[in-house]
Amino acid sequence: MSDVKLTGIAKSYGGSPVLTDITVDFPSGSFTSLLGPSGSGKTTLLRIIAGFITPEAGQVTIGGEDVTRIPVWARNIGMVFQSYALFPHMNVRDNVAFGLGRRGVKGAEAKRRVDEALEMVRLPGFAERLPKQLSGGQQQRVAMARAIVTGPKVLLLDEPLSALDRRLRQEMQVELLSLQREIGVTTIFVTHDQEEALTLSDQVAILDRGRIVQMGAPAAIYERPATRFAAEFLGDANFFAGLVEGGAITVAAHRISAPGLPEGREVTLAVRPEKISLDATHENQVRAKVLNAIYAGANLTYLMEGPGGQRLKVFAQNSDGVILPNGAEVTLSWPAAHTILVEG
Amino acid sequence: MKAFGRVYLCLLIFFLYLPIGVMIAMGFNASPYYQLPFEFSTRWWHELWQNAELLEAGKNSVIVAIIVTLIATPVGTAAAVALHRREFPGRNFLRVMLLPPIAIPWLITGTAMLVMFYWSGIGRGFHAMLIGHVALAIPYVVLVVSTGLQTIRQDLEEAAMSLGATPLFAFFRVTLPLLTPSIIGAALFAFAVSLDQFVISYFLATPGYTTLPVKIYSAIRKGFTPDINIISTVLLLASMALVLIYFIFSKFGAKDVRR
Amino acid sequence: MSAGPATTAPALNMGGRRLPPWVATTALLLPAYGWLMIAIFLPLGAMFLFSFMTATPIGTKEIGYTFDQYKIFFTQPYMWQVASWTFQIAFATTLICAVTGFLAALALARSGLGRSQWVFLILILLPFWTNGLVRIFSWTMVIREGGFLDAVVQFILPEAASVGFLYSRPAIVLGLVHGYLPYMVLTCYIAISTIDDAIVEAAESLGARWWTILGRILIPMAAPGLIAGSVLIFVPVVGAFMEPRILGGPQGVTLGTVIEDSFTQGFNWPQGAALSFMLLAVVLAIFATFSGVLRRNAEL
């Protein structure tokens, strides 16, 4: 078991920075998601950890050993690629045994470990097939088996589930998680799917334009996003901006308060759509007009026009079968405790 | 409209193959002056085997083509791998530099080689032809192998490296086996380019050393007999066979990688 | 943490002795580009130098440098005539190839041939990969006086005079069209086959008839293929010498044959070099003009 530490990593292409001063700790045995939109640098970061890219500045250590200058083939990592990258001219056994062979494990010992790994990904009996004879989900499992069979110090996953359809993806998420728990390998997972990041990870790192804007446990990030970007990228959010006077801001004659507001400063507050109720039970209250109701069976999404013509999004449970008509005027309210102060 | 299209295509194919068919037939016509009506004879087939000069030129052509293939294939493959799999400044410039041997009329390249080789003391003949043919074949090899490389995902080599393979091992164990059909295709191409090459050979040939196309050309200009038709037929069928083998190979190769 | 794949981690660190990447890149590229340098680019440079010499440097002859070789079009007005013939032949060949080749590509792509498209395409392309010299030679069997064409005509009309036209400029054009037509079919076919059927169907649904579809959709969209094909035919044709020699006979004087003669007969290499370079300038100008279209076409 090894932890992975990045210190002050920087990388640029053609003068424009892709990663700036990245310092992160991936504890031993943890499952971390790198979450961000395309172009945020998450894949570059993963490839730096793998050793495909040498950073311009900073240090990568795996299990306490500085590997910054060590090439990828000597780092003892396991990696699963977006396309799986199974060798099309080798059967499943040869694919899985490839890394063992590079480490001098041959013959009966190699066979035993390949079979064991295929057992773990629930593909026993597929050893003699060629990759093109397997389904997408099965190829994905072979790629997993190939990456873990050598007992790597760290497992790197580059959007490995994005090629699968929704149902299979959810199934594979569960399997991936239980497999990771079973072998306990430090895992770093790149994704742009926020739901996937929340379900799988011990911790999530949100990247934006080459910087880690927030890192923490999924619930902590969701409930307390530090920046407007984090609030929007992970889940939905409504924003209010204003000057803090007397512990609250004023938006078109409505006062909105939140814990710990700095007096006399311009601030941005965020509220999750599901924290808002369609009545006046909480302390922060605004009047709003229904623009559109989107019906989705178990729940409803209202698009509303709030104070000052601001657009608001509200999630409601479909508990009483009532759908507010377009144009209806309602009072919305939410607790001050769920109003989050975010950076611009 | 659709029927018209088919008729048109058939007429076009007739036009393309008509002279070839006539030429082949004339090789089996008894008259030495190509007189009609047609009278079947294998006389010129037998004459050909008496024509030592023509046979010698044919042997030279095949030997040159084999050596050209053996040189141009690895050299061109290496360049294709570098152009496709490695980042370095000036890559696009080097890609463009492959075009002159293909695009500039061979008359210009051929006379330029004549001037340079004569002047520098390299001279003409077998070795000069070899230098010229390999230079013409290299761009074709690079293009064919590059097309093959494009169908092989780069992350396969990366996967191999993540599993502990050095770049060299990853190339030989992963990329090269997948590239084999393309390399065979490129080799066939190089062989055909050299075997059919006339212009360059013409300027680099010496009275004592010629290849088949050069010999055919001088025969046509000096007055000829139907044994020229026979050897031309052989040359024609040889290159057609090469191209057909190439088509079959490239098709199999593509299928294998895509699925 | 149960029986996971065992946790061996043998020493893989091979120490710091790695060559910088440019060494491998250079090693891969050097043979190919070194070869091209020696066999293509240095010769072109040498020929450029030659084109300024007063005479072929043989033996102990005194060699001077001059621009005179480039003045041939003024010292020998006959050369204008030769250039004019050359370009007439090249334009005629390109035009005929463009029309017949475009129609062939259209017929290939849009005649509902299905899988047999490939058979037709290979049949059309196959002669292109055979020896050009042999194919030109084969035409002499057909169009000479008393050749195959005459035999066919006289079979139908026993009293007809000979229609053989070997040793004429039309014969040269015929041979060149035969030689280069497959190029045009291929480039046009690639361009046309990328046109979505739905575009043509959309035009039909809007009431367009076939001539509108041809003129407003197919030809404009296939234009890159037509241009690429035309360049790829025009360039080698202006430099042709073997075809005019064999099919044109005494009529077949072109820039190509004049260059050939100055190297093989007249032994006036500086003159041939200067002509070659003027021809090369024309070729490069054509490529420069159409480089955008050609590049886009290559990406298809």
**pLDDT tens sequence across C257-294:** 999 998 888 778 888 999 999 999 999 999 888 887 77
pLDDT in tens, A251-307: 888 889 888 888 889 999 999 999 999 988 898 999 999 999 998 888 899 999 988
What are the phi and psi torsion angles at A205 (to 5°)?
Answer: -115, 125
Which of helix, strand or coil describes residue A3? Answer: coil
Alpha-helical regions (H) of chain A: 42-50, 92-102, 107-120, 136-148, 166-183, 194-200, 218-223, 228-233
- Residue ranges covered by each domain of chain C: 100-299
DSSP string across A176-209: HHHHHHHH--EEEEEES-HHHHHHH-SEEEEEET
C-alpha distance from residue C120 to each of A332, B3, B16, B245, C104 (Å): 72, 14, 12, 17, 10
Which of helix, strand or coil describes residue A33? Answer: strand
**CA–CA dist A270, A151 (Å, integer):** 44
**Across C153-164, average pLDDT:** 84
Chain C residues with beta carbon closer than 8 angstroms to that of B22: 138, 141-142, 147-148
CB C203 within 8 A of CB C213: yes
> Which chains are within 8 Å of A by 3+ CB pairs?
B, C
CB C63 within 8 A of CB C57: yes
- Has residue C3 got a pLDDT over 60? no
Q: Per CATH, which fold does C100-299 belong to? A: MetI-like fold (1.10.3720)
Two tokens, residue C287: 């490529």
Mean pLDDT, rounded, of chain C: 84
DSSP string across A283-313: SEEEEEEEEEEEEETTEEEEEEE-GGG-EEE
Q: Quick one: pLDDT at residue C60?
A: 66
- Has residue C6 got a pLDDT over 50? no
Indicate the residue type of B3.
A
Residue B169 to residue A102, Cβ atoms within 8 A: yes
pLDDT beneath 70: ranges in chain B: 1, 249-259
Please count the residue pairs, one from chain B and one from chain C, whose beta carbons lie less than 8 angstroms apart: 237
Band the pLDDT of C297: cuts 50, 70, 90: low
Cis omega (within 30 of 0) for bond into B19? no
Two tokens, residue A207: 């990247």
Q: How far away is chain B from the Cα of A73, in angstroms, using its nearest Cα? A: 4
Mean pLDDT, rounded, of chain A: 91
CB A4 within 8 A of CB A29: no
**CA–CA dist B92, B84 (Å, integer):** 11
Domains of chain B: 1-41 (no CATH), 56-258 (1.10.3720.10)
pLDDT in tens, A218-235: 999 999 999 999 998 888
Chain B residues with beta carbon closer than 8 angstroms to that of A146: 159, 163
Domains of chain A: 4-225 (3.40.50.300), 236-342 (2.40.50.100)
Chain B residues with beta carbon closer than 8 angstroms to that of A155: none
**CA–CA dist A243, A248 (Å, integer):** 8
- Look-up: residue for tokens 């569960």? A174
Residue of C nearest to B84 (CA): C25
- Has residue C230 got a pLDDT over 60? yes
- Has residue A177 got a pLDDT over 60? yes
Q: Quick one: pLDDT at residue B8?
A: 92
Taking alpha carbons only, the member of A9, A104, A99, A8 closest to residue A53 is A9
Residue C3 to residue A116, Cβ atoms within 8 A: yes
Instruction: Check CB contact of A98 with chain B, cutoff 8 Å.
Output: yes
**CA–CA dist C292, C300 (Å, integer):** 13
**CA–CA dist C217, C297 (Å, integer):** 18
- Has residue C12 got a pLDDT over 50? no
In terms of pLDDT, which residue wins out, B106 or C198?
B106
- Has residue C15 got a pLDDT over 50? no
pLDDT in tens, C22-44: 888 899 999 999 999 999 999 99
pLDDT in tens, A52-109: 999 999 999 999 999 999 999 999 999 999 989 999 999 999 999 999 999 999 889 9
Tally of CB atoms within 10 A around A227: 17
Band the pLDDT of C151: cuts 50, 70, 90: confident
Residue A83 to residue B163, Cβ atoms within 8 A: no
Residue of A nearest to B155 (CA): A85
Chain A residues with beta carbon closer than 8 angstroms to that of B259: 132
Tally of CB atoms within 10 A around B60: 20
Instruction: Check CB contact of A167 with chain C, cutoff 8 Å.
Output: no
Instruction: Check CB contact of A52 with chain B, cutoff 8 Å.
Output: yes
Provide the total of helices (H) and of strands (E) in chain C, helices listed first. Answer: 14, 0
Band the pLDDT of C14: cuts 50, 70, 90: very low
Residue A52 to residue B163, Cβ atoms within 8 A: no
Band the pLDDT of C16: cuts 50, 70, 90: very low
Classify residue C249 as exposed, middle or buried by CB count within 10 Å of its CB (0-12, 13-18, 19+).
middle
Residue A103 to residue C12, Cβ atoms within 8 A: yes
Interface of C with B in 69-98 (CB under 8 A): none
CB A74 within 8 A of CB C13: yes
Q: How far away is chain A from the Cα of B192, in angstroms, using its nearest Cα? A: 29
Taking alpha carbons only, the member of B55, B185, B201, B66 closest to residue B126 is B201
Taking alpha carbons only, the member of A242, A276, A232 closest to residue A262 is A242
Chain C residues with beta carbon closer than 8 angstroms to that of A149: 5
Indicate the residue type of B221.
R
Q: What is the pTM of this model?
A: 0.82
pLDDT in tens, B201-212: 999 999 889 999
DSSP string across A166-181: HHHHHHHHHHHHHHHH
Any idea of the CA torsion for C284, C287, C290, C291, to the nearest 10 degrees?
Answer: -110
Q: How far away is chain A from the Cα of C5, in angstroms, using its nearest Cα? A: 5
Which of helix, strand or coil describes residue A239? Answer: strand
HSE of C172 in the Cβ direction (CA atoms, 13 Å)?
30
Q: Quick one: pLDDT at residue B179?
A: 92
Residues ≥6 apart with Cβ < 8 Å to C168: C248, C251
pLDDT in tens, C98-116: 999 999 998 988 777 777 8
Q: Which helix (H) or strand (E) holds A271?
A: strand A266-271
Instruction: Check CB contact of C276 with chain B, cutoff 8 Å.
Output: yes
Find how far residue A102's CA is from the centre of its chain.
32
Q: Which helix (H) or strand (E) holds A32?
A: strand A31-35
Residue B163 to residue A50, Cβ atoms within 8 A: no
Buried b (16+ CB within 10 A) or exposed e, C97-109: bbebbbbbbbbbb
pLDDT in tens, A183-209: 999 999 999 888 888 888 999 999 999
Q: How far away is chain C from the Cα of A182, in angstroms, using its nearest Cα? A: 6
Q: In what order do the strands lie in the sheet with A266-271?
A: A238-243, A266-271, A340-342
Chain C residues with beta carbon closer than 8 angstroms to that of A71: 18
Two tokens, residue B93: 């410039």
Q: Quick one: pLDDT at residue A57?
A: 93
CB C89 within 8 A of CB C237: yes
**CA–CA dist A222, A273 (Å, integer):** 12
